[in-house]
């Protein structure tokens, strides 16, 4: 296999300058992009302007490369200049290519030493001119396969010079000049340097694989109908070719332009239980688990599922996460509140795991239909981790409640503060100054009763609430204690600390400050639950058989608080000082 060397003579450089000064030829469509059924103008490679494509070494990427070369060879002979011999060896496993090579229709060249260095990157045009001396002419298309940082210069100015040289050389070509940039980790790593050379590369495309779905991403592409920017075309593939599946999204937020099933709705019977007859066009399945199989080939349909009771929240969260991982981003997922009122952290967890919208149960069905119609052009934009626990992150509280020892309380609260610092959840710590005459006989409606005296005249009760709005603190306390807050609190006094830097400053000191432990004052104790199931069902915790039964959860009221802890007045004073 021949190798391209750097020319060094004065005459070769003079010839290069003369050829670069040739009149410009306007870019015209040429052969295909190697993908079937793309919209008119999108699936064509231009001539007279360099084209930048990016791919990895996955099976689907090789389907694209094979289709690209098949289209280029159908229009005439092709030169390939590659950086690595191993890439050429794998390329020739496609049967038509060895035949084309044997028939002199395909010529293969390698860069010297198997890689492009800084000197070669500055003299890429010299290499291209040298290829002309060995048979490259106007009838040949040229594919240059290199890693992006191997050909760009070590500085921005040198990169610009390289790109301008290539653009000037390509202006007089009548067949395509294609740079195939190999990305070893993520194709988006190639976008940075290419976008900085946007005035040179008017055609930039790459292949993405997200949630087991393949898309052709056109960062920019000139077509006869006008330029395209940030456009995504969904692809389907067989054993031999890639083809457009009819799904088209545009923009960084992936605004859906069109898809065959864009207005299709899949729902569960429980999600439309309040309707005697659901809309005729909707497709209803008996159970939520049936949605995975039902939406197997969906591209941009809407999935409507119910949140379910508290006990089934974990399964619903897993289903939303699974759907988002295995379906295109253009699939819409709507969770409808059907039983217990969802706490704020559960609602945020649904949205974080892949749901496009959470609809409250107070919303009527007519309004629900309009909401589904409003989001038919949406696409999910966030990245979802493949591991469920990692994706769920800090949206669930630590599986602990009831009375905690002072040092355990501080450690637990600080841990939850750290986990949720970037999530925007409402975390509240309230200091209750309890009435000395009413507190001794007061007991809570939740296991783990916080009760003690301080100086025989005052009780300080500290309660930490995970994902609770400040405006809901009063109703939450009313549900927790057997006495109304107006009778329990001394002078109706309630000090509330929303998440502030004071917590981070005060709690570490309180953790080692020797605060009193009132464990002996409690006859019932709520032990920590180590399973994730208990954490996901914290809307309505199930009591142990020996513990008093909790009151029935009224969905119309504020949800039951998950964490209840007691601290001394010293913590309150430390927070106040901050």
- Other C-beta atoms within 10 Å of 477: how many? 23
163-187: pLDDT as tens digits: 888 888 888 889 999 999 988 677 7
- CA 76 – CA 81 distance, rounded (Å): 17
Residues 353 and 295 in one domain: yes
Domain assignment of residue 21, yes or no: no
- CA 79 – CA 140 distance, rounded (Å): 6
Q: Which residue is it, tokens 């107006």?
A: 486
| Domains in the chain, number | 3
Domain assignment of residue 4, yes or no: no
**Following DSSP, what letter does each residue of 234-291 receive, concatenated?**
EEEE-SS-EEEEEEEEETTTTEEEE-TTTT-EEEETGGGTT-SS--TT-EEESSGGGH
CATH code, domain carrying 380: 3.40.50.2300
- The per-residue pLDDT of the chain, averaged, comes to 76
Residues 248 and 285 in one domain: no
Q: Which helix (H) or strand (E) holds 144?
A: strand 141-146
Residues 270 and 241 in one domain: no
- pLDDT surpasses 60 at 198: yes
Residues 39 and 73 in one domain: yes
Using the 3D structure, point to which of 392, 423, 441 is the last residue of a domain: 392
Residues 101 and 231 in one domain: yes
544 vs 31 pLDDT, higher one: 31
Helix 501-511 and helix 569-577, axial crossing angle in degrees, nearest 10: 140
Residues 419 and 490 in one domain: yes
Using the 3D structure, point to which of 325, 357, 392 is the last residue of a domain: 392
Question: Quick one: pLDDT band at residue 18, thresholds 50, 70, 90?
Answer: very low
Domain assignment of residue 202, yes or no: yes
- pLDDT surpasses 60 at 21: no
Domain that holds residue 84: 31-252
Domain assignment of residue 465, yes or no: yes
- Range of lowest pLDDT (45-59, 219-233, 240-254, 395-409): 395-409
Residues 367 and 412 in one domain: no
Domain assignment of residue 9, yes or no: no
316-354: pLDDT as tens digits: 999 999 999 999 989 999 999 998 888 888 998 999 999
- Specify the pTM: 0.66
- CA 126 – CA 97 distance, rounded (Å): 27
499 vs 214 pLDDT, higher one: 214
Question: Quick one: pLDDT band at residue 11, thresholds 50, 70, 90?
Answer: very low
Q: How much of the chain, in percent, has pLDDT values that exceed 90? A: 35
Residues 104 and 190 in one domain: yes
Specify which of 301-310, 432-441, 483-492 reaches the highest per-range mean pLDDT.
301-310
- CA 39 – CA 224 distance, rounded (Å): 11
- pLDDT surpasses 90 at 543: no
For residue 519, the model assigns a pLDDT of 67
Residues 45 and 154 in one domain: yes
Using the 3D structure, point to which of 252, 279, 308 is the last residue of a domain: 252
Domain assignment of residue 14, yes or no: no
Q: Which residue is it, tokens 């006869």?
A: 224
What token pair was written down for 392? 């769920």
Residues 445 and 376 in one domain: no
Give the CA-trace dihedral at 502, 505, 511, 512, to 10 degrees. -140
Residues 222 and 286 in one domain: no
Residues 360 and 275 in one domain: yes
- pLDDT surpasses 50 at 156: yes
Domain assignment of residue 23, yes or no: no
- pLDDT surpasses 90 at 217: yes
476 vs 451 pLDDT, higher one: 476
Q: Is the dihedral of CA 159, 161, 167, 170 positive or negative?
A: negative
Domain assignment of residue 420, yes or no: yes
CATH code, domain carrying 61: 3.40.50.300
- CA 578 – CA 568 distance, rounded (Å): 17
Question: Quick one: pLDDT band at residue 573, thresholds 50, 70, 90?
Answer: very low
């Amino acid at each position: 296999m021949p190798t391209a060397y750097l020319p060094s003579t004065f005459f070769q450089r003079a010839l290069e300058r003369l050829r670069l000064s040739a009149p410009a030829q306007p870019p015209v469509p040429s052969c295909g992009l190697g993908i079937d059924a793309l919209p008119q103008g999108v699936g064509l490679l231009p001539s007279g302007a360099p084209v930048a494509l990016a791919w990895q070494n996955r099976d689907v990427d090789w389907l694209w490369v094979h289709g690209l070369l098949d289209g280029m060879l159908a229009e005439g002979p092709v030169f390939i200049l590659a950086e690595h011999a191993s890439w050429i060896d794998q390329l020739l496993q496609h049967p038509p290519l060895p035949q084309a090579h044997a028939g002199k229709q395909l010529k293969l060249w390698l860069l010297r030493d198997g890689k492009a260095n800084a000197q070669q990157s500055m003299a890429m045009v010299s290499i291209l001119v040298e290829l002309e001396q060995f048979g490259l002419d106007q009838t040949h298309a040229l594919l240059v396969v290199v890693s992006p940082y191997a050909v760009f210069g070590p500085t921005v100015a040198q990169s610009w010079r390289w790109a301008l040289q290539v653009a000037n050389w390509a202006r007089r070509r009548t067949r395509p000049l294609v740079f195939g940039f190999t990305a070893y980790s993520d194709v988006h790593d190639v976008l940075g340097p290419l976008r900085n050379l946007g005035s040179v590369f008017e055609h930039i495309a790459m292949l993405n694989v997200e949630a087991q779905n393949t898309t052709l991403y056109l960062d920019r592409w000139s077509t006869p109908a006008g330029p395209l920017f940030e456009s995504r075309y969904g692809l389907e593939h067989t054993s031999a070719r890639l083809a457009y599946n009819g799904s088209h999204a545009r923009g960084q937020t992936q605004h859906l332009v069109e898809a065959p099933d864009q207005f299709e709705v899949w729902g569960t019977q429980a999600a439309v239980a309040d309707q005697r007859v659901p809309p005729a066009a909707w497709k209803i399945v008996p159970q939520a688990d049936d949605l995975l199989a039902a939406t197997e080939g969906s591209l941009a349909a809407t999935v409507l599922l119910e949140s379910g009771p508290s006990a089934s929240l974990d399964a619903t969260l897993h289903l939303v996460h699974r759907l988002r991982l295995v379906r295109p981003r253009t699939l819409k997922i709507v969770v409808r509140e059907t039983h217990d009122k969802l706490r704020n952290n559960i609602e945020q967890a649904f949205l974080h795991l892949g749901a496009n919208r959470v609809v409250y149960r107070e919303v009527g069905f007519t309004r629900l239909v309009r909401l589904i119609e409003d989001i038919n052009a949406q696409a999910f934009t966030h990245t979802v981790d493949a591991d469920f626990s990692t994706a769920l992150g800090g949206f669930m509280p630590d599986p602990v409640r009831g009375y905690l020892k002072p040092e355990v309380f501080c450690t637990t609260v600080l841990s939850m503060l750290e986990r949720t610092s970037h999530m925007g959840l409402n975390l509240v710590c309230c200091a209750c100054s309890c009435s000395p005459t009413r507190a001794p006989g007061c007991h809570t409606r939740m296991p783990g009763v916080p009760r003690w005296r301080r100086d025989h005249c005052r009780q300080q009760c500290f309660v930490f609430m995970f994902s609770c709005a400040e405006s809901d603190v009063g109703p939450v306390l009313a549900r927790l204690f057997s006495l109304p807050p107006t009778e329990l609190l001394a002078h109706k006094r309630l000090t509330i600390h929303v998440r502030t830097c004071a917590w981070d400053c005060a709690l570490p000191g309180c953790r080692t400050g020797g605060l009193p432990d009132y464990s002996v004052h409690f006859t019932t104790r709520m032990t920590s639950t180590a399973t994730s199931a208990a954490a996901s069902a914290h809307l309505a915790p199930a009591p142990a058989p020996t513990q008093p039964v909790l009151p029935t959860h009224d969905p119309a009221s504020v949800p039951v608080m998950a964490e209840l802890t007691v601290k001394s007045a010293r913590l309150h004073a430390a927070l106040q000082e901050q």
